[in-house]
Amino acid sequence: MTGRAKLIGQVAALACVAGLLALLVWKLAHQRHAPPVGSAAPAFTLPLLDGPGSVSLTSLRGHPVVLNFWASWCLPCKAEARVLERDWKRYGSRGVQFVGVDSDDLSSEARRFVTAHRLTFPMLDDGPGGVKGSYGISQVPETYVLDAKGKIVAHLAGPITDEGLASQFQAALKEVA
């Protein structure tokens, strides 16, 4: 092989390795992690699950927000629904806005879930889970509690019916309400 052809081959091989390395770095850099408590909650706008219109997080500024990520196939979400609706009725009158975010789900099943559990707070359709990803949600249900300025006060990674998380959730609600 001539020196020139050899050099071209070496440069091409090096370019391939550099490309693969760049892909790895890009993947690592774009891994989504849960935003830490104390930071600003990632902004989003999502369509309502049960009709026309959408809700943006910024439009809720001035109100504490409970952001609950769920899906109709998720068994713990069913047990949690009753608690969320009870607390929505209790704290909604004090200005706390509850919002449900449904991801990776069949919209028809999600609407059926809302009706079956008589949930009355706004439910948003996150489709393939873009917002779920920006909140670093790995498994539903997960719940974020935000203060009136949009800062994360609590992140509950699991059903709020669990013993430990239930007390954390109630404490966060009392803090922001």
Partner 1 sequence: MIVRLLAVMAAALALAGPAAACAHPRTSLAALEGQVMCPVCHTTLDQSNSQAAQQIKTFIAQRIAKCWTAQQIETALVANYGQAILAEPSHKGFDLLAWWLPIVGVLVGAIVLAFGVWRWSRRQGDEPPPAEESGLDDETERKIDELLAGME
Interacting residues toward partner 1 by CB under 8 A: 1, 9, 71-75, 104-107, 109, 127-129, 139
**Is the CB of 87 or the CB of 125 nearer to partner 1?**
125
Residues paired with 48 in a beta bridge: 124
- Smallest gap from Cβ 65 to partner 1, in A, equals 25
The b/e string for 46-66 (b: 16+ C-beta within 10 A; e otherwise) is beebeeeeebebeebeebbbb
**Is the CB of 111 or the CB of 155 nearer to partner 1?**
111
**Is the CB of 40 or the CB of 106 nearer to partner 1?**
106
**Is the CB of 147 or the CB of 162 nearer to partner 1?**
162
- Smallest gap from Cβ 73 to partner 1, in A, equals 4
**Is the CB of 141 or the CB of 150 nearer to partner 1?**
141
- Smallest gap from Cβ 12 to partner 1, in A, equals 9
Spatial contact of 120 and 57, defined as CB atoms under 8 Å apart: no
Spatial contact of 88 and 98, defined as CB atoms under 8 Å apart: yes
| 54-56 and 45-47 beta bridge pairing | antiparallel
- Smallest gap from Cβ 78 to partner 1, in A, equals 10
Rg, C-alpha atoms of the chain: 22
- Smallest gap from Cβ 112 to partner 1, in A, equals 11
Contacts of 156 (CB under 8 A, 6+ apart): 142, 143, 144, 145, 165, 168, 169, 172
